[in-house]
């Protein structure tokens, strides 16, 4: 009788251990970046098209573009979202010592197409269109010289992302944001 009670307790105890192991293994499964629908990113870009606009100057300088955005994956291939950016360009005049400082504030709607989508790596292309608010000021005065609205657009020829949740991204393209940008990205579920 004692042997059968110990045997019954042993069988119940080992069956509980087996269930606990399968539940623990399921919790440790790594999420793939493919399955994470939401993405926030912050990047730094060089070579905005606004840098090359004014041909009447001798020396153009710019610290680059600072870009923040959000993308929501609709499918494993298509994602839609928005981007906001700030770019400053200083234009030096040829015949005078005055400088014009142009601040470009941009807001764009974006569509991206992922053509390689692995668990921790993806490659994509994209297109974005929007509007730019340009504010010009002179270095000799503290008041704004001019304000205007301009079209904004970005064509991403090649973009990539390394990482699952937290990752590193880079893009090569042409437009009002940048020619080349790099940054960090974070993907998560709903």
Q: What single DSSP character describes residue 190?
A: -
pLDDT of residue 105: 97
Pairing of strands 121-138, 144-163: antiparallel
pLDDT of residue 21: 47
Residue 154: exposure state from Cβ atoms within 10 A (0-12, 13-18, ≥19): buried
Q: What tokens were used for 19?
A: 């269930």
What pTM, to 2 d.p., does this model score?
0.78
Q: How far apart are the first and last CA of the chain?
A: 55
Range 113-149 burial, b when 16+ CB lie within 10 A, else e: ebeebeeeebebbbbbebebebebbeeeeeeeeeeee
Match domain 35-188 to its CATH number in 2.130.10.10, 2.40.160.20, 3.10.20.30, 3.40.47.10: 2.40.160.20
Each of the 190 residues of the chain gets a pLDDT tens digit; together they read 556 555 655 565 565 555 544 444 445 566 777 778 899 999 999 988 888 776 666 678 889 999 999 999 999 899 999 999 999 998 887 677 778 888 999 999 999 999 998 989 999 999 999 999 999 888 766 666 789 999 999 999 999 999 988 999 999 999 999 999 999 999 998 7
Q: Which residues pair with 43 in a beta bridge?
A: 67, 183
pLDDT of residue 59: 78
Pairing of strands 99-117, 180-188: unpaired
List of residues 6+ apart from 35 with CB closer than 8 A = 189
pLDDT of residue 10: 56
């Amino acid at each position: 009788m004692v042997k059968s009670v110990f045997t019954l307790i042993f069988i119940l105890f080992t069956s509980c251990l087996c269930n606990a192991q399968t539940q623990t293994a399921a919790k440790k499964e790594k999420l793939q970046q493919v399955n994470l629908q939401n993405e926030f990113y912050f990047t730094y870009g060089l070579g905005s098209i606004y840098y090359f606009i004014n041909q009447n100057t001798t020396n153009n300088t710019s610290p680059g573009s600072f870009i923040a955005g959000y993308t929501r994956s609709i499918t494993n291939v298509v994602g839609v979202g928005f981007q906001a950016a700030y770019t400053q360009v200083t234009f030096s005049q040829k015949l005078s010592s005055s400088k014009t400082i142009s601040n470009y504030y941009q807001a764009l709607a974006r569509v991206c197409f992922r053509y390689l989508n692995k668990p921790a790596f993806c490659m994509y292309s994209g297109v974005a269109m929007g509007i730019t608010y340009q504010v010009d000021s002179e270095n000799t005065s503290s008041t704004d010289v001019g304000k205007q609205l301009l079209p904004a657009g970005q064509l991403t020829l090649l973009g990539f992302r390394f990482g699952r949740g937290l990752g590193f991204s880079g893009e090569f393209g042409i437009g009002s944001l940048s020619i080349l940008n790099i940054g960090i990205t974070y993907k998560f579920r709903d």
